Structure 1
């Protein structure tokens, strides 16, 4: 299996750096999810209690890095002052005729509204286009997640439809708005 291209760290607003997930990030990732539990729970699947413990993430990170090594995902973290303050993931990477991926992200509540996630999504899209050679990115948001929809709009995504009962979020199947960005339309 060929080695995957390097992920160059990117400086974002507010002293945040976007970088590839590291094998030792388990404790920092658990701390980040626990610190922003109330902020994240309405937007995420129901999590087991162990999800907020370092061991859970320490065990999961090697799997995520294997997915990266196999070219199926790019697991990224947003870091400020050695603390993880968010995630940006490219998942479900398809090659062949599709050359596409899904984008998912979250950001610590105290950093929202400062352009951090907009810059992170832009950097992720540039990596997908310029390094991975992808054609298209897709993202989905809950109908009432206007902040996430604004990030997508600012970063060149367009609404393409509605997916009824698309994902099981916050304990129930919920409708999602679907967005896409055609990377091959981006100026080089």
Structure 2
């Protein structure tokens, strides 16, 4: 999938070295937002992680992508927690390298991934959960018009502790013309993604 210089493609085993280098180079930038395992080690092996992600892809429970900018790996986006049956829902998580921040890469990639989830994967609902302090990610859901659905207290273990998250979602019916198309055409409602009580 491509839109302008932004690309989104399935992760490959040979991406491991580049992704691991980006994660290590961007430790200070990413650590406040990274999921951690309670009482677990913080080290990781990207090759093992990619193998697990691709197994989830084969199982249909996840869809792991790399985000590219002008053909260069800029970050990672995962559609995870895919539920079928009467729910047909999933969650998006992502990270982008600091040197690529501010170029609209994440916003474009989330829009493309959500459109693919609805149109190609047959999902009905896409969710994104964001820490209240993560202003950059909050801008992404506001730009794309994800609807605020509430606060999940101590929801995910992030940076060494259980953290509150705002939950946002879109359903297929919310965006009949597609998420990317609605954003590019300036059709996102101005108050979309607003968190009650916040300006």
Distance, in Å, in 1 between the alignment partners of 2:26 and 2:172 is 32
Is 1:10 the counterpart of 2:13? The answer is no
Is 1:28 the counterpart of 2:18? The answer is yes
Of 148, 155, 162 in structure 2, the residue corresponding to residue 173 of structure 1 is: 162
TM-score, normalised relative to structure 2: 0.81
C-alpha displacement of 1:26:
1.1
DSSP 3-state at the match of 2:43: helix
Moved more, 152-161 or 94-103: 152-161
Gaps of 5+ in 1: 1-8
Distance, in Å, in 1 between the alignment partners of 2:70 and 2:43 is 25
Tell whether the 8 Å contact from 1:136 to 1:184 is kept in structure 2 after alignment. Answer: no
Distance, in Å, in 2 between the alignment partners of 1:62 and 1:45 is 18
Gaps of 5+ in 2: 178-199
Aligned to 2:185: none
Aligned to 1:124: 113
Of 4, 14, 19 in structure 1, the residue corresponding to residue 9 of structure 2 is: 19
Is 1:50 the counterpart of 2:39? The answer is no
Of 9, 30, 33 in structure 2, the residue corresponding to residue 40 of structure 1 is: 30
Residues 154-183 of structure 1, C-alpha deviation per residue, up to 9 Å, x if partnerless? Answer: 112111000111111111111111111112
Tell whether the 8 Å contact from 2:67 to 2:105 is kept in structure 1 after alignment. Answer: no
Tell whether the 8 Å contact from 2:69 to 2:105 is kept in structure 1 after alignment. Answer: no
Moved more, 108-117 or 97-106: 108-117
C-alpha displacement of 1:91:
0.2
Question: Which residues of 2 match residues 40-79 of structure 1 at below 5 A?
Answer: 40-46=30-36, 48=41, 50-51=43-44, 56-79=45-68
Across the two proteins, how many residue pairs are aligned to each other? 174
TM-score, normalised relative to structure 1: 0.86
CA RMSD of the aligned region, Å?
1.7
Tell whether the 8 Å contact from 2:129 to 2:167 is kept in structure 1 after alignment. Answer: yes
C-alpha displacement of 1:11:
3.9
Distance, in Å, in 1 between the alignment partners of 2:50 and 2:93 is 17
C-alpha change, 1:81 and 1:156, in structure 2 (3 Å) is closer
